[in-house]
Structure 1
Amino acid sequence: MSEVKLATEVRSEFGKGAARRIRRENKVPGVVYGHGGDPIHVTLPGHELLLALRTPNVLLALELNGTKQLAIPKAVQRDPLKGFLEHVDLLLVKLGEKVTVDLPIVVEGELAAGANLLEHVMNTLSVETEATHIPESVTVSVAGLDSGDAVYAKDITLPSGTTLAVDGDAVVLQVLSAQAEEPSAEAEGDAAAEA
């Protein structure tokens, strides 16, 4: 996992007006918290933060009060129409510290022959891992699965140093049989009339 350095400014202005001024300067207001300390209100560079957040569970290196701090994004608020960043909450982490994160699930392989549907019960898997070695995703093979089969959280092979943060019996993926609708009596009558 790569570390992204961001220039961080501690801010003393709060409220809606201050946040709007910050966004007009192409910056993003945010809060950094963790390790039992008081929350620190910061301003982050908008474009660099947007690029960094394209990587799930990215590790951010922040310069706070003259010291380098590591943080991961915990909550990101975006404008619902335009998609630009409005606010970000960052959680401070240390080397060797365990954190709980949601990893995207990547599916590979082909289902067994036949008309089957793959239902994603979960799109992400909650795991506990070291903050500086967060995997980008988990891969699940569905090769050969047939109707009625399911993949449980405990069946997924996790990277070393990573453990499940959800119940092992939770269904992640399941295979359903595709069922064609039975024609109604009217449709059967219309088909007979056309013949």
Structure 2
Amino acid sequence: MSEVRIAVEQRNEFGKGAARRTRRAGKIPAVLYGHGSDPQHLSLPSVEFARAVRENGHNAVLTLDVEGSGQELALTKTITSHPIKGYIEHVDLLLVKRGEKVTVNVPVVVTGDAASGALVSQELTEVEVEAEALHIPEQIELSVEGAEIGTQLHVSDLKLPKGTSLVSDPETMVVNISEAAAEMEEEPAAEEEEGGEEEASEEA
């Protein structure tokens, strides 16, 4: 994961009205907290922040050039989006230091094809891990290549990158491989019956 540098401004107005004005100006209201310091209320540039999340995931680490107070290193902790329109409404940022370990949720991506006739059900989409702030994995892959029906893969089966340790319960199921249901052939038979009835009525 690459480090992203973003110039941000400090906010002096608060409340819903102030937040709307911030968003209308093309910026996102944010709060930076952590390490026992007082929270800092900031405005993030919408386009640059969205690009950082798109390219680095929701655990993006940002070098913030804070107007009037120097640089801060921050982990994107929580992103709140509008439930309908989808734009980012608010962001919580966590102060971090180089070399510091943080606990984050990382997406689990299932790869490969299971055995013929198998249905792959992913029961867990994210896993909680501890990693150095500047080396958080964007995702963790779990291969089901050739997995037979009846196979169950758990958190303990995940291969974590070097320097990353597991926080989630290792016994939690990630993937269940079951038998795919056979396709029903009743509909074509029903159509044949309907066709036969129509022919009989025409003959009558």
Instruction: Normalising by structure 1, report the TM-score.
Output: 0.90
Matched residue, 2:12: 12
TM-align CA RMSD: 2.2
- In structure 2, how many angstroms separate the alpha carbons of the residues matched to 1:2 and 1:169? 32
Matched residue, 2:143: 141
* 172-181 or 83-92, larger mean C-alpha shift: 172-181
Deviation at 1:106, TM superposition (A): 2.0
Deviation at 1:81, TM superposition (A): 2.4
**Which ranges in structure 1 are unaligned for 5 or more consecutive residues?**
none
Matched residue, 1:34: 34
Matched residue, 1:61: 63
Deviation at 1:8, TM superposition (A): 1.2
- After TM superposition, list the pairs within 5 Å mapping 1:151-162 onto structure 2: 151-162=153-164
- In structure 2, how many angstroms separate the alpha carbons of the residues matched to 1:89 and 1:119? 32
- Residues 46-73 of structure 1: per-residue CA shift (max 9 Å, x gap): 1111111112111101123533211111
- In structure 2, how many angstroms separate the alpha carbons of the residues matched to 1:49 and 1:183? 51
Deviation at 1:191, TM superposition (A): 8.3
Aligned length: 192
Match of 1:132 among 128, 131, 134: 134
- In structure 2, how many angstroms separate the alpha carbons of the residues matched to 1:86 and 1:139? 30
- Residues 127-162 of structure 1: per-residue CA shift (max 9 Å, x gap): 110111111111111112111111111111100000
Deviation at 1:105, TM superposition (A): 1.5
Matched residue, 2:82: 79
- After TM superposition, list the pairs within 5 Å mapping 1:85-124 onto structure 2: 85-113=88-116, 115-124=117-126
Pick the structure with more helix per residue.
2
Return closer, same or farther for 1:180/1:41 CA change in 2, 3 Å cut-off: same
- In structure 2, how many angstroms separate the alpha carbons of the residues matched to 1:152 and 1:176? 15
Match status 1:44 vs 2:47: no
Equivalent AA in structure 1 for residue 130 of structure 2? E
Secondary structure (helix, strand or coil) at the match of 2:161 reads coil
Deviation at 1:192, TM superposition (A): 9.2
Q: Percent identity of the aligned residues?
A: 46
Return closer, same or farther for 1:190/1:110 CA change in 2, 3 Å cut-off: closer
* 89-98 or 73-82, larger mean C-alpha shift: 73-82
- Residues 97-132 of structure 1: per-residue CA shift (max 9 Å, x gap): 11111112222221112x211111111111110111
Instruction: Normalising by structure 2, report the TM-score.
Output: 0.86
Equivalent AA in structure 1 for residue 26 of structure 2? N
Secondary structure (helix, strand or coil) at the match of 1:168 reads coil
